[in-house]
Amino acid sequence: MTNDTATTADDAFTQNIYYSNDADASYIEDKTVAVLGYGSQGHAHALNLTDSGVDVVVGLREDSSSWPQAESDGLRVTTPDEATAQADVVMFLVPDTIQPAVFEAVEDGLEEGNTVMFAHGFNIHYNQIQPPEYVDVTMAAPKGPGHIVRRDYENGGGTPALIAVDQDSTGEAKQEALAYAQAIGGTRAGVVETTFREEVESDLFGEQAVLCGGVTSLVKHGFETLVDNGYAPEMAYFECLNELKLIVDLMYEDGIGGMWYSVSDTAEYGGLTRGDRIVDETVRENMEAVLKDVQSGEFAREWINENQAGRPSYTQLKRHDEEHEIEEIGAPLRDLFEWEDESSDNEPAEVPADD
């Protein structure tokens, strides 16, 4: 596994941003792309590529529940090893945890000059997959869930994306990755060039410290504080969870400053004077520790071992979270509101997320 945490000039974020005029479709339009997996990302990539005129074959295990759906969507479907043998570019869109086994099963079908592509660099960065030297290894990673990637494309727009090159055996790896990103709609919004290391470590840290771990922990602690002090759980739910979306939407649209501008002066003053009392230097120290676990490979080792052991800790933690009072009180409250119009843009596509 990668253990060198020093940032080099090659590792540093390049900040190159590309749009449709920067991409050359010829680097992908005459090639066959095997999309392995037909879950959230898989279905979006396969359909967007096809609509862009790229020859696509979907690779699925023979008993996959997604096989009929992919065929119904008009796509050619075969097994992963057969799809790889037919392809010039092989995009791995199965879950990180099973990618190494899938790669092992299809590696013999790779030929010199082929490309092995990913939408997340976990298994390359942590050396769980080590492609042969005669192939390109690249990334094309939309920064959004698959149903958004598909919806944006169908609406004539695109979802921002990242590209990266880990191995360039042909001398054309970057141009091909950019052409792929264009074909799934990424260049319509903007494609940022980065590295596998940058993408993996920042992604894992963001998920753990802020987006998935930090935010949910903060919400639950806030909810528990109100309830433990005698406030109705319904009120605690609205104040600590339901209204979070409103604040996040404001930040998403116009930054933190735009959010402060839009809320009341009372809310702004309270946030400015009390926020750092909640999320203080101790939290920053904890974040530094989480980042070190990501950089050193400790988190990767832990997660790999957890899967090999049958996910005992994961299962216990997930069950504990599902049984939290905020989940029990939230379900009936959400049923009180008519959110059909809003949720139609946020519901996952009707395809398995982990296939």
Give, as one character, the DSSP assignment of residue 209: I
Partners of residue 67 on adjacent β-strands: none
Catalytic residue among 43, 45, 120, 125: 120
What is the C-alpha separation between 119 and 42, in angstroms, rounded?
10
Do residues 69 and 77 make contact, with C-beta atoms less than 8 angstroms apart? no
What phi, psi does 89 have (nearest 5°)?
Answer: -125, 130
Q: What angle do CA 220, 225, 228 make, to 5 degrees?
A: 115
Partners of residue 73 on adjacent β-strands: none
Is 120 a known active-site residue? yes
Nearest to 88 by CA among 61, 112, 58: 112
Nearest to 145 by CA among 39, 50, 64, 68: 39
* Tokens encoding 252: 């998403």
What is the C-alpha separation between 129 and 354, in angstroms, rounded?
19
* Residue partners of 183: CB distance under 8 A and separation at least 6: 25, 28, 29, 48, 49, 52, 53, 54
The residues carrying an active-site annotation are 120
